[in-house]
Structure 1
Amino acid sequence: MNKTTISTVGQFVGQEVKIGAWLANKRSSGKIAFLQLRDGTGFIQGVVVKAEVGEDIFLKAKNLTQESSLYVTGIVREDERAPSGFELTVTNVDVIHEAVDYPITPKEHGTEFLMDHRHLWLRSKKQHANMKVRNEIIRATYEFFNKEGFVKVDPPILTGSAPEGTTELFATKYFDEDAYLSQSGQLYMEAAAMALGKVFSFGPTFRAEKSKTRRHLIEFWMIEPEMAFYEFEDSLKVQEEYVAHVVQSVLKNCKIELNALGRDTSKLENIVAPFPRITYDDAIKLLHEKGFDDIKWGDDFGAPHETAIAETYDKPVFITHYPTSLKPFYMQPDPNNDKVVLCADMIAPEGYGEIIGGSERIHDYDLLAERMKEHDLDPAAYQWYAELRKYGSVPHSGFGLGLERTVAWICGAEHVRETIPFPRLLNRLYP
């Protein structure tokens, strides 16, 4: 007998297999019991026919409780109606552990209840699908950057300075020094790019931002590439090719999960490079045309503004050349207009907001020193960063993609809290 998983049962059509699984749900109809089984790799229906298995096995199957763990033996059958294309004709059931009073039942539950039981909510079909899509995005990320010749570098999580100011950072003590949980690995990735050419990082970042919107988390994961000898336009090309690669990989490898989520995949099929671009100036004009009369040049965009701009396009859109006053100290000014910088935010369709922020970085030592002074940054804390401009400085660019917002957009999730295994929110540190 073959011991296998639900995701690979298609290799054993017509054969008897053994699967370790949990009972997600069940129903019975007279002398037939239908077991909804999951094993982490997927979901499958097990059909137990009393006349074929006998009284003892049938009663055991019929009396199984939700989330009990078991070994199920059965014959693999093709079934076009099943999401996976297969079902299991059960021949035997061995209970490993009987679950009692599982708290998340098939009825509706409130969000706070589900968040309190996040360790169990992860087992549900939609949450399982979210995590599988997240995993595919991560896999496709490594595939893309490895193929493009990038080297993965891991920046520190504890830092002594902040790339974008300390107002939204978690402070801690590093023995007798002040330290912060990283809000970005970018500055360190710039140093790595000067050594290795093209690099990327993938790790947790932290923002002490008191926001309760559906787009925000306190702890989230970022993919942050940096590229030596890449100017602004070069970086935009990498960004759109990367996002297109990720979306197409999910469409190819997560059909079952997207179906479980009820995702309209036609909206994703169109996500191929190149992406449209609009300058900040033109975005202001567009917003005025759409009735946002209060916004003026120099204002930052909020969620309603980003959504209104995104609705004009059926792909992610770059908003470029923001005012210098809105952006961090390290962004390169536009050589034709020093009131704006060579930066871009990529806005996802369907109201999911900014998923990428990026720019060409300042590579002139004197200009960087001037910007640091304007932002009241301690020169000693950033000495190492400034020195990158003293010893063989080159034009370079980079960007950061927020993983959870990207998962939310691709999955069609209502809130980013469902796109990370254990979300950290303004008022939630449990479980």
Structure 2
Amino acid sequence: MSDSLVTIREVSGHVGQSVRIGAWLQRKRSSGKIAFLQLRDGTGFIQGVVAKTEVSEDTWEQAGKLTQESSLYVTGLVKEEPRSPSGYELVVEGIEIIQVTQDYPITPKEHGVDFLMDHRHLWLRSPKQRAVLTIRAEIKRAVNEYFDTNGFTQVDPPILTPTSAEGTTNLFHTKYFDEDAYLTQSGQLYMEAAAMALGKVYSFGPTFRAEKSKTRRHLIEFWMIEPEMAFVDLEQSLRIQEQFVAHVVQSVVQNCRPELTTLERDISKLEAIQAPFPRITYDEAIEFLNQNGFEVPWGEDFGAPHETAIAQAHDRPVFITHYPASIKSFYMKPDPNRPEVVLCADMIAPEGYGEIIGGSQRIDDPELMAQRFEEHKLPLEAYQWYMDLRTYGTVPHSGFGLGLERTVAWICGLEHVRETIAFPRTLYRLYP
């Protein structure tokens, strides 16, 4: 046996061998002559079995001292164990304690949400939270894989901006030396500029909304994936969106089966997420809602109950297209055959998780864009660079934005987005 550490994830390659693992004790039970140590090392979980008659007196004594979240090096023989969730077990030969932990705050009993959020730095160690963060990392890997292998170039837009992408006031203000600046709420406008240079681009980074919202779908700081594509119309964009989302979901199904099992996720519902996705227009959505107990006048946006009702009629994400121009952003292109609606779509996730993608074909006519600036009272001097994109070589182009945390919540089957990111920022929480 070498002195180098083996991770729990790697033990399958060491059956019949003695290995040394750095770990924490998740929990312990003992029958007097045998102790069962539930160990974790960040890569996985394994049971270590300590038999009093087969180890030294010192090793048995060390096992007895271990408490929840104590840290240790453990040496043992790897053997196959079909009854174990991982399929393997460690026959312990030696224990070297690093630290015996006293009074670990998060015990196996039930704790309230506020207590767990105050101890988020420790709550992350639990099997469920580890599973969520592992799936989040796989989603991010799959996002990059899809775009990097489909002709997109990743571009990083600024986080500090002089203006708002959406023309709203929900911005975090800061001073940029002697100027006003804001934390970005979207990289979209900058990505449009990048698309005019590189064709197909995407950004993947943090965004910020100073909305005083307390719903289970909202965070103050969250991550967005924002592709922009030159020479692409709405129809082509929708096909890319459904292929992209299906790729991400199936990557998680393929690569995170143990984590989905830990979360008790119904994997069959995820396996059903295959392109193409169903589509309905805003008009059809209004008709459906009004037939199903909702009174929604034409021209109003949909709330969470409306999106959930529409989603429940489908077993995969559904696109709602052609919303009224009056409730959508200034840069969305009107339908040439019906200017009161725009060439846009929201993708609604199944199972009540709401909108995960918003996208549209962008206005490419410089005169119409100038008109929109007047209608929305946007300062032309702040957006002159954006107008230049229509002045110098304008082309049809489309883009969309996917919210990472809502996507993680849906794929993991979580009730609230606060568990989808390591250290969530919500309306009343900036600690830890």
The CA deviation at 1:155 is 0.2
The CA deviation at 1:403 is 0.4
The CA deviation at 1:188 is 0.2
Q: Secondary structure at the match of 2:421?
A: coil
**In the alignment, which residue of structure 1 is the partner of 2:137?**
135
Q: Secondary structure at the match of 1:238?
A: helix
| Aligned pair partner of 1:50 in 43, 49, 52 | 52
1:68 aligned partner, one-letter code: S
Q: Does structure 1 residue 214 correspond to structure 2 residue 216?
A: yes
The CA deviation at 1:24 is 1.2
**In the alignment, which residue of structure 2 is the partner of 1:309?**
310
Matches within 5 A, 1:96-175: 96-175=98-177
Supply the distance in 1 between the matched residues of 2:84 and 2:378 (Cα, whole angstroms): 60
Percent identity at matched positions?
Answer: 72
2:131 aligned partner, one-letter code: A
1:410 aligned partner, one-letter code: I
Supply the distance in 2 between the matched residues of 1:367 and 1:78 (Cα, whole angstroms): 68
Q: Secondary structure at the match of 2:380?
A: coil
Q: Does structure 1 residue 330 correspond to structure 2 residue 331?
A: yes
**In the alignment, which residue of structure 1 is the partner of 2:256?**
254
Question: TM-score, length-normalised on structure 1?
Answer: 0.99
2:143 aligned partner, one-letter code: T
Supply the distance in 2 between the matched residues of 1:218 and 1:269 (Cα, whole angstroms): 31
Supply the distance in 1 between the matched residues of 2:416 and 2:232 (Cα, whole angstroms): 34
Supply the distance in 1 between the matched residues of 2:214 and 2:201 (Cα, whole angstroms): 33
2:297 aligned partner, one-letter code: K
Q: Secondary structure at the match of 1:11?
A: helix
1:190 aligned partner, one-letter code: E
Deviation track 1:233-254 (CA, whole Å, cap 9, x = no partner) reads: 1100111001000000000000
Supply the distance in 2 between the matched residues of 1:80 and 1:211 (Cα, whole angstroms): 47
Supply the distance in 2 between the matched residues of 1:84 and 1:222 (Cα, whole angstroms): 34
The CA deviation at 1:286 is 0.6
Structure 1: runs of 5+ lacking an equivalent: none
**In the alignment, which residue of structure 1 is the partner of 2:178?**
176
**In the alignment, which residue of structure 1 is the partner of 2:280?**
278
Q: Secondary structure at the match of 1:57?
A: helix
2:413 aligned partner, one-letter code: G
**In the alignment, which residue of structure 1 is the partner of 2:395?**
394
The CA deviation at 1:217 is 0.3
Q: Any conservation in 1 of the 2:186–2:207 contact (CA below 8 Å)? A: yes
Supply the distance in 2 between the matched residues of 1:259 and 1:363 (Cα, whole angstroms): 47
Q: Any conservation in 1 of the 2:74–2:96 contact (CA below 8 Å)? A: yes
Supply the distance in 2 between the matched residues of 1:29 and 1:240 (Cα, whole angstroms): 54
1:355 aligned partner, one-letter code: I
2:245 aligned partner, one-letter code: V
1:61 aligned partner, one-letter code: A
Deviation track 1:90-146 (CA, whole Å, cap 9, x = no partner) reads: 111101122111101111100000000000000000000000000000000111111
Supply the distance in 2 between the matched residues of 1:319 and 1:405 (Cα, whole angstroms): 17
Q: Secondary structure at the match of 1:380?
A: helix
Supply the distance in 2 between the matched residues of 1:304 and 1:384 (Cα, whole angstroms): 39
The CA deviation at 1:367 is 0.6
The CA deviation at 1:203 is 0.4
Deviation track 1:285-341 (CA, whole Å, cap 9, x = no partner) reads: 111111002x11011110000000000000000011010011110001111110100
Q: Does structure 1 residue 341 correspond to structure 2 residue 342?
A: yes
Q: Secondary structure at the match of 1:367?
A: helix
Supply the distance in 1 between the matched residues of 2:395 and 2:336 (Cα, whole angstroms): 16
Structure 2: runs of 5+ lacking an equivalent: none
2:259 aligned partner, one-letter code: E
The CA deviation at 1:65 is 1.1
Supply the distance in 2 between the matched residues of 1:399 and 1:50 (Cα, whole angstroms): 61
Instruction: Answer with 62-71 or 127-136: which moved more.
Output: 62-71
